[in-house]
C-alpha cells in the first residue's frame, strides 16, 4: 500500500495535505477543547493525550518527503539515502511518545490520589488546597 500511496501522492496533493495537516490540527484543537472545558480530571488527561497525538502526527507529517522510503537501508541499496524521508523528526517523536506515556502515568496516579482524599475527581468540587 505504501507504493500506491506514493503514486497517488502526485495526483491528489491537496487532498493529502489537507488530510495530514488538517487531521493533526483538528486533533490538537479537540484536545485543547477537552482541557479547557471539561471538569473531570480523567477527561482532562484524555484531552492531554489527544493533544499529544496531534503534535506527533504534525511532526511526522512535516518530515515526510514526496516519494521517499522509510530511513532503513536494505542489503543492496546502500546508496539509497537520497530517496529517504527525514529521519530527525521521527527520532524526536519516538522520544516524545515514551515521555508522553510517563507524563500520563504520573498525572493519572495524581488523579487516583486526589480521588482517595476528596472522594471526587471533579475540579470544581475540590475546594481545599491541602491534601
Q: Does residue number 129 form part of the binding site for other proteins (CB under 8 A)? A: no
**Closer residue to other proteins (CB): 4 or 128:** 4
- Min. distance of Cβ 59 from other proteins in angstroms? 9
Cell 472522594 locates to 119
Total residues binding other proteins (CB under 8 A): 90
Site for other proteins in 59-118 (CB under 8 A): 60-66, 68-75, 78, 81-82, 84-88, 90-91, 93-95, 97-99, 101-106, 108-113, 115-116
Which residues, 6+ apart, have CB-to-CB distance to 56 below 8 Å?
93, 96, 97
Site for other proteins in 29-48 (CB under 8 A): 29-34, 36-38, 40, 42-43, 45-47
Least Cα distance to 122 among 57, 41, 61, 46 occurs for 41
Give the three-class secondary structure for 14: helix
Q: Does residue number 5 form part of the binding site for other proteins (CB under 8 A)? A: yes
15: Cα separation from own chain's centroid = 21
Q: Does residue number 123 form part of the binding site for other proteins (CB under 8 A)? A: no
Q: Using CA atoms in the order 63, 24, 56, 65, what is the torsion angle rounded to 10 degrees?
A: -10
Site for other proteins in 12-31 (CB under 8 A): 12-13, 15-17, 19-23, 25-31
Amino acid at each position: 500500500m505504501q507504493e500506491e500511496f506514493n503514486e497517488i501522492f502526485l495526483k491528489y496533493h491537496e487532498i493529502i495535505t489537507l488530510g495530514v495537516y488538517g487531521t493533526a490540527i483538528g486533533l490538537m484543537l479537540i484536545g485543547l477543547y477537552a482541557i479547557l472545558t471539561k471538569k473531570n480530571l480523567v477527561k482532562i488527561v484524555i484531552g492531554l493525550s489527544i493533544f499529544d497525538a496531534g503534535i506527533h502526527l504534525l511532526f511526522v507529517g512535516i518530515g515526510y518527503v514526496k516519494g521517499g522510503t522509510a530511513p532503513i537501508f536494505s542489503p543492496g541499496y546502500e546508496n539509497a539515502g537520497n530517496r529517504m524521508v527525514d529521519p530527525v523528526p521521527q527520532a524526536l517523536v519516538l522520544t516524545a511518545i515514551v515521555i508522553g506515556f510517563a507524563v500520563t502515568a504520573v498525572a493519572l496516579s495524581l488523579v487516583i490520589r486526589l480521588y482517595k482524599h476528596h472522594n471526587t475527581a471533579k475540579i470544581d468540587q475540590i475546594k481545599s488546597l491541602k491534601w
